Amino acid sequence: MEEEFNYKYALERLKYESSVFWQRTTAFLIGNSLLVVAFSSIKESVSQIAIGWMGIVLALTYLYACTCSYVANSYWQKKIKEEETDLKIKGIIKTKMYTEWERHFSNKFWRFYPGGVMGFLLIVGFIIVWGTLLSNI
């Protein structure tokens, strides 16, 4: 019974990490978009430089948060596979409940970066935008 609880707990943690990832992404998009609007509405170059650097720091912080999310997801994936193997051996479960998650993480780039190609391009895109805006001051 304890193994089944550990398995369900690990599945819930993996689902939670995924939902937190999307909450972070939404906060990043809103925060960086507000900074771009503030940058374009302010005409003082000193203020624009400060806002631009805030945008770059926000993008790099988001990159760090995504990397930490990748570590957490990897840990819970490993735990799920271990528990699933134990439960199959003991005859408690017959099929893999983890198959959907495993298929989702099968892409090599997704394994490297938890946000996938779009998340990576989002971060790089904002860094390029901020670099361009700062270079035009």
Provide the whole-model pTM.
0.71
Average pLDDT, the chain: 79
DSSP symbols for 67-99: HHHHHHHHHHHHHHHHHHHHHHHTTS-SS-S-H
pLDDT of 97 reads 56
CB contact burial 68-96 (16+ within 10 A = b; e otherwise):
ebbebbeebbebbeebbeebeeeeeeeee
User: pLDDT tens for residues 23-73?
Assistant: 888 899 899 999 999 999 998 999 999 999 999 999 999 888 887 887 787
- Is 90 exceeded by the pLDDT of residue 114? no
What's the pLDDT at 63?
Answer: 85
* Pairwise CA distance, residues 115 & 122, whole Å: 9
**pLDDT exceeds 70 at position 104:** no
> Does 104 or 133 have the greater pLDDT score?
133
At 110 the pLDDT is: 47
